[in-house]
Amino acid sequence: SSQLTRRQTAVSWMVAGLLTGLAHLTRADGLLLFGAGGLVWLWQVKDWRGEVEKAYSFKALVLHLVIFLGGYLLVMGGWFWRTYQLIGAPMSPVGTQTIFLTSYNDLFAYGRSFDLNSYLAWGWRNILMSKLEASWLALQTFIAVTGLTVFTFFFVWAWIRLGRDEKTGRWLRPFTIYTLVLYLVMALIFTFPGQRGSLLHSSTAIWPWSMPLAVAGVDMAVDWVASRRPSWHPGQAKRLFGAVFVVIVFVVTLAVAGGQPLADVEAAVYGEVAAVLPADAVVMIGTAPDFYYHTGLRAVAVPNEPPDVLLTIAQRYGVNYLLLDADRPPILNDLYSGAAQYPYIEQVQTFDDGFVLYRFSLE
């Protein structure tokens, strides 16, 4: 039996490594799972040191770590090797520059780099305020996304209560560690990417844990009320609240999905723009993938740079047109409003919903 348990544990570490590799292959921040796995292993070592009768030898613990790393590299190893052949490093260091952003728009900077010196030059007050704002938005994301607002209380209740239990706490430990790592890293390190979507998207990985915990929390709440009100029937109440739980999840999902009218509006405008462009046009636009999807025309993203840099990009990549809307980079406000004129950017036509089409003069 003990040998079977050891074999199952080894398999679990291998599966964890493989899934961590797939997560990293899917999203850059999937690498956080690798760090979380390392912390889970260190916690296992801590528990092992406190055991009187050791369930595992230290050699077995080291083997678990090697298996976890092996599973991860089985997925990511080829990718690392290919990247190393191309740039001389297993991973591009450019992504770490987002740690030093002072504005989210600079995620789309062109020809500029960001480092600790440029970040510190921004000033400690700005840095601290950005961390506070990011932490506040992270809390809102935790409530609204991880707990779907109405279930946050029940989810946290079950999380704390089951986490304190010796038996269930061990199973919740990976979830707890990853959740804390994710929110802290996105709020305090990758501050601006975290505020504008990275945390929102990454936190959906927590749902397979938070939603079952929310169900358990509802059961705990019903039992708590029933212990104080003898007239309550816990079985009936749990079935009722379970049905309400499912209905609310569907209502929230439909409300969020139905609140995206801009997709249809933008698609219609893109069609109108494509109708006045030549078939070989290359367009600079804020949502380049969307524009390509709806029109089939090639597109590049608008950087957070002044018009003269846009011209440099247009010349380098053969961009003919520029399409701006209300969500343009602030540095292009004067161009968009007409307050400034540039001989190499000519306004062609305006469209619904605030879209303005320009033509680059590349001669």
Q: What is the pLDDT of residues 296-318, one digit of tens each?
A: 999 999 999 999 999 999 999 99
pLDDT at 2 (0 to 100): 62
Is 120 buried (19+), middle (13-18) or exposed (0-12) by CB count in 10 A? exposed
Alpha carbons 285 and 305: distance in angstroms, whole number: 13
Alpha carbons 39 and 179: distance in angstroms, whole number: 12
Q: 153-156 long-range CB contacts below 8 Å, 24 or more apart?
A: 153/217, 154/213, 154/214, 154/215, 154/216, 154/217, 154/218, 154/220, 154/221, 155/210, 155/211, 155/213, 155/214, 155/217, 156/217
Alpha carbons 255 and 201: distance in angstroms, whole number: 18
| Range name among 223-237, 254-268, 317-331 with the lowest pLDDT average | 254-268
State the pTM of this model: 0.86
Q: How confident is the model at residue 362 (pLDDT cuts 50, 70, 90)?
A: confident
In this predicted model, what pLDDT tens digit does every residue of 235-275 receive, in sequence order? 888 888 888 888 888 887 787 776 665 567 888 999 999 99
- How much of the chain is in helix, strand and coil states, percent to nearest 5? 70, 5, 20
Question: Which 8-state DSSP code applies to residue 283?
Answer: E
What backbone torsions phi and psi does residue 298 show, to the nearest 5 degrees?
Answer: -70, 145
Cβ contacts of 112 within 8 Å, gap of 6 or more = 106
pLDDT at 51 over 80: no
